[in-house]
Amino acid sequence: MGTMERMRKTSPYFLAAFAVLFVGFMVASDADIGSLIQGRGSIQTELIGKINGEEILYKDFDLKVKEVIEQKRKQSSDPNANIDEDQVINQVWSQMVDETLLKQEAKKAGVIVSDEEILDVLLDNPPESLRKPFTDSTGTFNNQLYLELVTNPDKMGEALGPNVSAEEKQKAIDDFKKYLIDFEKYLRQQKLAEGLIAVVSSSVSAVSPQYAKEKYIYDYTSSDVDFLFFGRDEIQDNQVQVTEKEIADYYDKHKQAYKQKPQRRLKYIKFDIVPNIDDTIRAGKKVDRITADLASVTTILEKDSVFDLKMSEFGGNNPEFTLIKDIPDFKLNMLQTMNVNDIIGPVMTPDGITFLRLDGKRSGENEVVKASHILLKFSVNKDSTKAEAERIMARAKGGEDFAELARKYSGDPGSASKGGDLGFFGKGAMLKPFEEAAFAAAPGSIVGPVETEYGYHIIKVFEKKSDEIKYSEIVIKPIVSNTTKNMLFRNAYSFQKQVEEGHSFDNLAEKSKYKVQQTMFFTKGTPVLGSQYLSDLAFESETGTVLQPLELKNQGLFVCVVTDSRENGLRTLKDMKEFIRVQVTNIKKLDAVKSKADAAYSKVAGLDALSKASTVDPLLVVKSLAGVQNTGNVQGIGEDFVFTTKATNLPVLAISKPFRGTMGYYIMQVKSRLAPPAESIEKGYMQYITKMKKDNYQNEFYQWFGKIKQDADIEDYRVKFYREY
């Protein structure tokens, strides 16, 4: 029997309908399950939304949310880590919307992914994620075992051997089946997207070799320039008068740029959910009790026993052996002064009042390296970059301060400001060539230049460690008690009720000494105060509605009122007035400095070099920039594509007439221009063709899909089921 046929007969897990039955219910604080039971309908049929009329079931959505949360927990190194469930709800919603729209558009375009396409990938060209479990330490892929288990996952039990329990085998089989189902779904979605991209982008993917070569030369040409700059900020705002008529005329001329979607605005007060004095006293009593109980015994064994009891009583933490690089410095500094079984505390730390016990020390297998680096990014000429790296490395080896060299020359902004310091890192954290060089080098040595895709690296290794520490800790900090929280909620509900009864929001807040704040206008689908739920609730409510008190994670308890609403159309002149005033002011400031630029040009036009400008007017200050490319970035000034375009196109040595940029007026002289060398062009422009095709291909699709999403009829009912997202 052929493999394809055997696949169809023995493995229904890929091609069977992916049907799931929702059996779990959300806790009452997260979902409005009660109202579902009380008449809105069955939880099995309730809708979380509609996409162009296509229904999305709540049970399917919620199941996916739970799966993603569980996956994040498994991926986390800390089993007790908090998962941002609100973020997951938004992530899953966005993913479901995109997947649904993709399927709808693929159906319209006649794009179909056949079962054979999926099977061909799985059987003949499995991706790395599927190959990895079947690849041994030498890199050899066991294709026979892979095919056997992929076509018949139940055989995994035999492959695991006799030392694995029946329960563990069944779990492994079930997990593998689910992984295959999920992977098939992902692969089908990916193939569907690829097909649509091909359909949408086919008209823009062609790139002329001659055009690509010219664009490559243009983009990688650099110029050294001298220039005079007359910035608009030389004119103070109060030196410019903007009339109401000028603002109105500007509005009329640009009003099509001021289209708006429906918007809302909220006014709110906030109750900080923080421990009060009673909560702090309760925490202090816990610390006193632990301290007294530890002091009441004398032997190491007795103290260990008491510490273990207190760990259990107060929810202590005892992680497994941990690399010292992964232990916070404030904690590591204490642990490194302790002997095994020592207990210290109470100590105030960033975590709270802490008691620590050192449980063990050992040399681990996972070595870490502390290193710094200097990155020289590739320029037009790769060889010249390498030569520069070698010169800097020679200076470092000659005794110059490595940190200062990094600050001056490194192209890695993240580490350059710290003298190139990368801290401790383990294997797998860096690119392979960098990692191999760093781990092979002895502490104190400087190695390189090491080539990676980012450029050439000079690496200084300071230290190598494999030490691991095991410790236990009890952290006590004041927590908000239910009594405190209930009091805050009572105050919030009382405020809401009084406003609903007719009291002024502002007057009541002032009387109660609450600070009134206001949001900016926001559109539907845009989170407000970090909450998509609050945004959706505002759009569900009429202007003047006082919303129920809402607790927002890590922020506090809010009472909000919907104060303003705007509907589709143009933003009014009143709304745009201050924005337009700034625009017109900047235009007038540019007009004002033009006369300065013209006057300066009349003095320097006859010079052979702009650098001599001070000889005709001591007040003229010439600035210089080297290696300017047409990226829009003007060092010391900001973004100005007019400047970089002129630097790329002006004739060499000619002094330009004044030209107007975004930030001011300029007079420029291009001193020299360096085009990419011929060998670089021949090597680089073919790769550039590929890049341009890919960019055109993807940009066209993303623009198209963005428009599809913008025009889609998306009905979002999440506000009925979740209290926050």
Q: Are 260 and 486 in contact (CB under 8 A)?
A: no
Q: What are phi and psi of 512, to 5 degrees?
A: -90, 0
The answer, yes or no, to whether the previous bond of 413 is cis (omega within 30 of 0) is: no
Contacts of 390 (CB under 8 A, 6+ apart): 449
User: Distance between the two ends of the chain, CA-based, in angstroms?
Assistant: 52
Number of domains in the chain: 4
| Rounded CA separation 311/214 (Å) | 70
527 shares its domain with 594: no
Q: Which residues contact 302 (CB under 8 A, 6 or more apart)?
A: none
Q: Is residue 724 part of a domain?
A: no
Alpha carbon distances (Å) from 252 to 232, 463, 566, 573, 578? 25, 66, 20, 9, 15
Q: Check which CATH number belongs to the domain holding 465 and give it.
A: 3.10.50.40
The rounded distance, in Å, linking the Cα atoms of 52 and 58 is 17
Q: How far apart are CA 255 and CA 523, in angstroms?
A: 19
User: Parallel, antiparallel, or unpaired: how do β-strands 47-51 and 714-716 relate?
Assistant: antiparallel
Q: Does 164 fall in a domain?
A: yes
Cα 311 from Cα 513, distance rounded (Å): 42
Pairing, β 517-518 against β 54-57? unpaired
Residues 179 and 44 placed together within one structural domain of the fold: yes
Nearest to 535 by CA among 677, 725, 392, 695: 725
List Cα–Cα distances, 316 to 338, 350, 450, 499, in angstroms: 19, 16, 45, 45
The SS3 assignment for 24 reads coil
- Tell me the residue ranges of DSSP E strands in 213-258: 222-231
pLDDT of residue 3: 29
687 domain residue, yes or no: no
Based on the domain organization, do 49 and 185 belong to the same domain? yes
My answer on whether 551 and 502 are in the same domain is yes
Indicate whether 56 belongs to any domain: yes
**SS3 per-residue string spanning 89-101:** HHHHHHHHHHHHH
Taking only the tens place, the pLDDT of each residue in 119-165 is 888 888 888 878 888 888 788 888 888 888 888 888 888 877 788 88
Position 38 scores a pLDDT of 43
Tokens 């010079």 belong to which residue?
607
| Residue 502: strand, helix, or coil | coil
489 contacts 557 by C-beta, under 8 angstroms: yes
Residues 411 and 283 grouped into a single domain? yes
Cβ atoms of 388 and 380 within 8 Å: the answer is: no
Q: Tell me how far apart the alpha carbons of residues 463 and 402 are, in angstroms, rounded to a whole number.
A: 15
Residues of the chain with pLDDT under 70: 1-42, 77-80, 201-208, 380, 683-685, 688, 695, 697-698
Distance, in Å, from the CA atom of 621 to the CA atom of 613, rounded to the nearest integer, reads: 8
CA distances from 508 to 272, 286, 500, 557 (A): 18, 39, 12, 17
Q: What are phi and psi of 520, to 5 degrees?
A: -75, 165
Q: How far apart are CA 198 and CA 473, in angstroms?
A: 57
Q: Among 479, 497, 514, give the residue marking a domain's end.
A: 479
Can you tell me whether residue 424 is helix, strand or coil?
strand
Residue that terminates a domain, selected from 518, 546, 567: 567
**Is residue 680 in a domain?**
no
Residues 100 and 116 grouped into a single domain: yes
Note whether 15 and 115 are within 8 A (CB).
Answer: yes
Separation between Cα atoms, residue 440 and residue 364, nearest integer Å: 18
pLDDT digits (tens, 9 = 90+) for 302-354: 999 999 999 999 999 998 888 887 888 899 989 989 999 999 999 999 999 99
* Site of tokens 């020289």: 376
DSSP 8-state code for residue 40: I
Cβ neighbour number for residue 635 with a 10 Å cutoff: 10
Same-domain status, 293 and 401: yes
Cβ neighbour number for residue 515 with a 10 Å cutoff = 9
Sign for the pseudo-dihedral over CA of 499, 504, 509, 511: negative
List CB contacts of 549: < 8 A, sequence separation 6 or more. 489, 492, 493, 496, 557, 558, 559
Q: Cα–Cα distance between 596 and 658 in angstroms, integer?
A: 10
Question: Looking at the structure, do residues 463 and 500 belong to the same domain, yes or no?
Answer: no
Tokens (6 digits) for 303 = 């103290």
**Cα dist. 411→153, 421, 424, 629 in Å?**
50, 13, 20, 16
- Rounded to whole angstroms, the Cα distance separating 322 from 105 reads 50
Q: Tell me the CA distances in angstroms from 629 to 111, 125, 646, 680, one per residue in order.
A: 42, 43, 10, 17
Distance of alpha carbon 234 from its chain centroid, rounded?
Answer: 38
- Spatial neighbors of 301 by CB under 8 A, at least 6 apart, are none
In a domain, 711, yes or no: no
Residue 321 contacts residue 341 (beta carbons within 8 Å):
no
Token duo for residue 572: 């009014």
Max Cα–Cα distance, the chain, nearest Å: 94
Question: What CA–CA distance (Å, rounded) separates 392 from 530?
Answer: 47
Contact 587, 246 (CB under 8 A): no
DSSP H stretches of helix in 512-554: 532-540
464 and 538 in a single domain? The answer is no
Whether 577 and 583 have beta carbons less than 8 Å apart is answered as no
* Dist. CA 273–CA 418, nearest whole Å: 37
Least Cα distance to 429 among 362, 378, 364, 367 occurs for 367
Query: Looking at the structure, do residues 579 and 508 belong to the same domain, yes or no?
Result: no
CA distance 321 to 364: 9
Q: What is the pLDDT of residue 208?
A: 66
State residue 725's pLDDT score.
83
What element of type H or E holds 500? helix 482-500
Same domain, 237 and 268: no
Alpha-carbon Rg for the chain in angstroms: 33
Please give the pLDDT value at position 270.
Answer: 96
**Cβ–Cβ < 8 Å for 320, 77:** no
| Of 633, 655, 671, the domain-final residue | 671
What is the DSSP track for 113-181? --HHHHHHHHHHS--HHHHGGGB-TT--B-HHHHHHHHH-GGGHHHHH-TTS-HHHHHHHHHHHHHHHH
Which residues constitute the domain of residue 180?
A: 3-196
Which DSSP helix (H) or strand (E) runs through 60? helix 58-75
- Domain assignment present for residue 712? The answer is no
Is residue 87 in a domain?
A: yes
Question: How buried is 549 (Cβ within 10 angstroms: 0-12 exposed, 13-18 middle, 19+ buried)?
Answer: buried
pLDDT in the model for residue 80:
67
Examine the domain organization and report whether 325 and 402 are in the same domain: yes
Nearest residue to 130 via CA among 113, 155, 117, 147: 147
